[in-house]
Amino acid sequence: MVDVTDKSVSRRLAKAQGIVRVGKEIMAHFDGDDIQSKKGPVFHTAILAGIQAAKKTSDLIPLCHPLPLTKCHVEIKKLDEERVKIVAEALTDGKTGVEMEALSAVSGAALTLYDMCKAISKSIVIEDIRLLEKTGGKSDFRAE
């Protein structure tokens, strides 16, 4: 792992997003708030999975520092008739950033969405998982 011993503690925030192309067949199960599947409410379950993934990032990604998250928020919304957007925000006061936690949250939510909807259609595509914003530490970043 990178040695962060001499780094200062600062507020670290990261936002990430991903798009999941579920298709019209799955979106036909959208009830205005969530997609209903045989396994239950898809968005609600995927949000919990995303938060859990963020909390477990250091167990999933080698060499990531375990971080005490002070906030993790995951939101899933219908983007259009075939796609949903997942946005995750992770926050901590620490010596290293939370980009991987935000990206893990999006990835975990997207994979859960896939798992819960695959019985309806297997042509789901997870795409465009990326960092939107990072603040704190040595430098800030904002996607254009």
Annotation says 115 is catalytic: yes
- Six token digits for residue 93: 């006061």
Which DSSP letter does residue 135 get?
Answer: E
Choosing from 33, 59, 93, 115, which is the catalytic residue? Answer: 115
**What residues are paired with 74 via a beta bridge?**
88
Classified as helix, coil or strand, 116 is: helix
Closest CA to 104 of 66, 57, 70: 57
Distances (CA, A) of 76 to 10, 59, 88, 138: 28, 24, 9, 30
As annotated, the active-site residues are 115
